Chain A
Amino acid sequence: MHAYRKAEMKQIALYGKGGIGKSTTSANLSAALGETGLDILQIGCDPKHDSTRMLMHGAWIPTVLDLVRERGDAGIATDEVVFRGYAGVRCVEAGGPEPGIGCAGRGIIATFQLLERLGALDGDVIVYDVLGDVVCGGFAMPMREGYAREVYLITSGELMSLYAANNIAKAIVRLSKRSRQTCALAGVICNAKNMDGEEELVREFSSRINSTMVAYIPRSRTVTLAELNRQTVMEYAPGSEQAGVYRRLAGDIMKNNRTSIPTPLEIDELENLALRFAQV
């Protein structure tokens, strides 16, 4: 079922606060896209390497940096780091150093260079699932020239989550000033906590930072059940309402070709906004 025209490869990156549901959303998005027959590559860019696990039915695939650590980067083949998961989605985990030592940011850069050299960065869509905080240049790598052109911010209506999204918007602004920069903000995805007024708040936040809310994903028990069964929602409950939400998200993202340079908020603007929508 080729629902979308196979044009130039689409590269998107999902950024957001740690624990907000980037990996769950990425995996279900990749699965929904894969089900339409598109060739999808999902790259987990977090040393915790749990981005693609549900696509791989709970298996921990070897990370790129595990192999580099064991053998150096010379003799690594594509099929040793790229694994096919649910709906044909090709899965890669960058991995990283042991917690508390080395430089994970440099690890991301090295991973990208290796994937590039292997010619593994291909397909119809590449989904980059990135560590919550853009703590250094290495974690901004997916936003650099030649990689993701579209950044999606994932946030709930909680202040700390909006704050993190706002910070990532600042990183996008900074990078957009570089001469050959091609990446921009493509939209905001609300991964809800089911707070009252949450959808309106995130919609308003999106418009205030010069973007749009492209999807509202309600909190659902189906996600929890699917993950307890080590599957994406798409595979575990294909007929569920939640699967429908991810299918819509996939369709909207494929159709979306509007991007913008964001206008991040000052912290007190952000707090006032959150206060305005808070249900007391």
Chain B
Amino acid sequence: MNSKILPSDLLRYEGCTLTGALSVTMQVQDAVTVIHGPAGCAHHNFSLLHATAAEQDGVRLPPLVPTGLLENEIIFGGEEALARTLRRVADDGPAAIFVLSTCITETIGDDVESVCACDLGLPVIPVPTAGFLGGAFSDGLNMALTTLATRVGNDDVQERTVTVIGEKNLEFEVEENFAEVERLLGLLGVRVDVRFVRKMRFADLARVGSSSLNILRGPDLIPIGEALKRRFGTPYIDSFPIGLEGGVTFLREAAASLGISSERAVETETAQQAEMLSSFADMRGAAVSLDPLTLGSLEYAPVRRVMAALDLKADTGDAGLSLPYSPPVGTAGIRRLLHRWRRRTHA
């Protein structure tokens, strides 16, 4: 859902399918991901994932192992190097191994799937992620989620729970956005069991199919929502709530899917939204100066309605190019946006 900037800039934002898939597999915390390719393909991603993790919730070294191919493996084939790496990684006893391919191994035709099919006593799951085949970050992300979705089960769960699907693990406010969804569900008295896939253990896959409701991060994940609906009959909501009215709609939809009443939850939330807006009364009538990070927010109707409610005007004078922007999730998302604008206005 990144906004497109200039044609010449697009390639900077599209990224590589490998990185997209890694953003998912890295979150299975007791699994190891093997990148079948030169060490550099792993290193770029390791740095990015490591830095992002440090920013979000502390240093956690990504469990990432490259096969580290050199010219000899390219000439004579890299399948043995992969088999060797898989055996070594399996010895450490992870819950599962993901195997992600790269441009060079797809070019020389290494048969990654057949190497992964040999029995190591644990699931070895290949995901084809050669960037040169086209596709972008989001395609890699979806492919990894889809691959994992084929492995979920519906073990018995005693209570009514919700699964959150496809969080954007590298996005700026990933934990804040999840917290908002969790808070809203809390108003309805339901709990998130599995985050598919974030801070999850491999065994958690067995419970994904038994939740009462799936909540997708965004509509691009509908194919996964549909697939789980076909298999387990689980209804889904196709997006995190966007803005204030999104939060209210979310409560109503979730309650309807769960067969419970939303009345009290909506009442509580509406009151809280009004209180939140009134706490920004000091900004009423102001011209807010937008920065590259928030410029994209103007594209979203929920943001424009909040601006209208507070009689805000947008000063885009020095904002420059707009950066890829995810719309604000729920009441908390709007509050953070207004805080940011207030800081810039008073700066």
> Which residues of A line the B interface, CB within 8 A?
65, 68-69, 72-73, 96-98, 101-104, 106-107, 110
* Contact yes or no, B71 A69, CB < 8 A: no
Residue with the highest number of chain A CB atoms closer than 10 Å, among B75, B77, B109: B75
The answer for the CA separation of A104 and B76 in the assembled complex, in Å, is 8
Q: Does B79 contact A (CB under 8 A)?
A: yes
The answer for the CA separation of A28 and B33 in the assembled complex, in Å, is 55
Q: Does B309 contact A (CB under 8 A)?
A: no
* Contact yes or no, A106 B74, CB < 8 A: yes
Write out the residue numbers on chain A whose beta carbons fall within 8 Å of the beta carbon of B108: 102-103, 106
The answer for the CA separation of A254 and B109 in the assembled complex, in Å, is 42
For the complex of A and B, 4 pairs with smallest distance between CB atoms: A101-B77, A102-B77, A107-B75, A103-B108
The answer for the CA separation of A68 and B71 in the assembled complex, in Å, is 10
Majority SS of interface residues in chain B? helix
B193 vs chain A, min Cβ distance (A): 45
* Contact yes or no, A103 B75, CB < 8 A: yes
Q: Which of the residues A69, A72, A102 comes within 8 Å of B74, measured between beta carbons? A: A102
**15 pairs, CB–CB < 8 Å, chain A vs chain B:** A65-B75, A68-B72, A69-B72, A97-B75, A98-B76, A101-B76, A101-B79, A101-B110, A102-B77, A103-B77, A103-B107, A104-B75, A107-B75, A107-B76, A110-B71
The answer for the CA separation of A72 and B72 in the assembled complex, in Å, is 8
> Which residues of B line the A interface, CB within 8 A?
71-79, 107-110
Write out the residue numbers on chain A whose beta carbons fall within 8 Å of the beta carbon of B74: 102-103, 106
* Contact yes or no, B77 A110, CB < 8 A: no
Write out the residue numbers on chain A whose beta carbons fall within 8 Å of the beta carbon of B110: 101
B78 vs chain A, min Cβ distance (A): 8
Write out the residue numbers on chain A whose beta carbons fall within 8 Å of the beta carbon of B73: 102
B291 vs chain A, min Cβ distance (A): 47
* Contact yes or no, B71 A106, CB < 8 A: yes
B103 vs chain A, min Cβ distance (A): 13
Residue with the highest number of chain B CB atoms closer than 10 Å, among A68, A103, A110: A103
The answer for the CA separation of A98 and B77 in the assembled complex, in Å, is 9
B16 vs chain A, min Cβ distance (A): 22
The residue on B at minimum CB distance from A72 is: B72
The answer for the CA separation of A97 and B109 in the assembled complex, in Å, is 13
B255 vs chain A, min Cβ distance (A): 57
The answer for the CA separation of A97 and B110 in the assembled complex, in Å, is 13
* Contact yes or no, A97 B71, CB < 8 A: no
A14 vs chain B, min Cβ distance (A): 23
Write out the residue numbers on chain B whose beta carbons fall within 8 Å of the beta carbon of A110: 71, 75
B339 vs chain A, min Cβ distance (A): 55
A115 vs chain B, min Cβ distance (A): 15
Write out the residue numbers on chain B whose beta carbons fall within 8 Å of the beta carbon of A72: 72
The answer for the CA separation of A96 and B108 in the assembled complex, in Å, is 13
The residue on A at minimum CB distance from B70 is: A72
The answer for the CA separation of A205 and B45 in the assembled complex, in Å, is 55
Beyond A101-B110, A102-B78, A103-B108, 9 extra complex contacts between A and B, CB < 8 Å: A68-B72, A97-B76, A97-B77, A101-B79, A101-B109, A102-B74, A104-B75, A106-B75, A106-B108
The answer for the CA separation of A73 and B72 in the assembled complex, in Å, is 9
Residue with the highest number of chain A CB atoms closer than 10 Å, among B72, B73, B109: B72
Write out the residue numbers on chain A whose beta carbons fall within 8 Å of the beta carbon of B79: 101
Write out the residue numbers on chain A whose beta carbons fall within 8 Å of the beta carbon of B77: 97-98, 101-103
Write out the residue numbers on chain B whose beta carbons fall within 8 Å of the beta carbon of A98: 76-77
Write out the residue numbers on chain B whose beta carbons fall within 8 Å of the beta carbon of A96: 75
Residue with the highest number of chain A CB atoms closer than 10 Å, among B73, B77, B79: B77
B104 vs chain A, min Cβ distance (A): 9
The answer for the CA separation of A101 and B110 in the assembled complex, in Å, is 7
The residue on B at minimum CB distance from A103 is: B108
* Contact yes or no, A102 B76, CB < 8 A: yes
Write out the residue numbers on chain A whose beta carbons fall within 8 Å of the beta carbon of B78: 102
Write out the residue numbers on chain A whose beta carbons fall within 8 Å of the beta carbon of B72: 68-69, 72-73
The answer for the CA separation of A68 and B73 in the assembled complex, in Å, is 11
Write out the residue numbers on chain A whose beta carbons fall within 8 Å of the beta carbon of B109: 101
Write out the residue numbers on chain A whose beta carbons fall within 8 Å of the beta carbon of B71: 106, 110
Write out the residue numbers on chain A whose beta carbons fall within 8 Å of the beta carbon of B76: 65, 69, 97-98, 101-102, 107
Write out the residue numbers on chain B whose beta carbons fall within 8 Å of the beta carbon of A65: 75-76
The answer for the CA separation of A145 and B217 in the assembled complex, in Å, is 55
The answer for the CA separation of A104 and B108 in the assembled complex, in Å, is 9
Residue with the highest number of chain B CB atoms closer than 10 Å, among A65, A73, A96, A101: A101
The answer for the CA separation of A28 and B110 in the assembled complex, in Å, is 39
The residue on A at minimum CB distance from B109 is: A101
Write out the residue numbers on chain B whose beta carbons fall within 8 Å of the beta carbon of A97: 75-77
The residue on B at minimum CB distance from A104 is: B75
B72 vs chain A, min Cβ distance (A): 6
The residue on B at minimum CB distance from A69 is: B76
Write out the residue numbers on chain B whose beta carbons fall within 8 Å of the beta carbon of A101: 76-77, 79, 109-110
Write out the residue numbers on chain A whose beta carbons fall within 8 Å of the beta carbon of B107: 103
The answer for the CA separation of A98 and B110 in the assembled complex, in Å, is 13
The residue on A at minimum CB distance from B110 is: A101
B198 vs chain A, min Cβ distance (A): 38
The residue on B at minimum CB distance from A107 is: B75
Write out the residue numbers on chain B whose beta carbons fall within 8 Å of the beta carbon of A73: 72
The answer for the CA separation of A65 and B71 in the assembled complex, in Å, is 12
The answer for the CA separation of A110 and B109 in the assembled complex, in Å, is 19
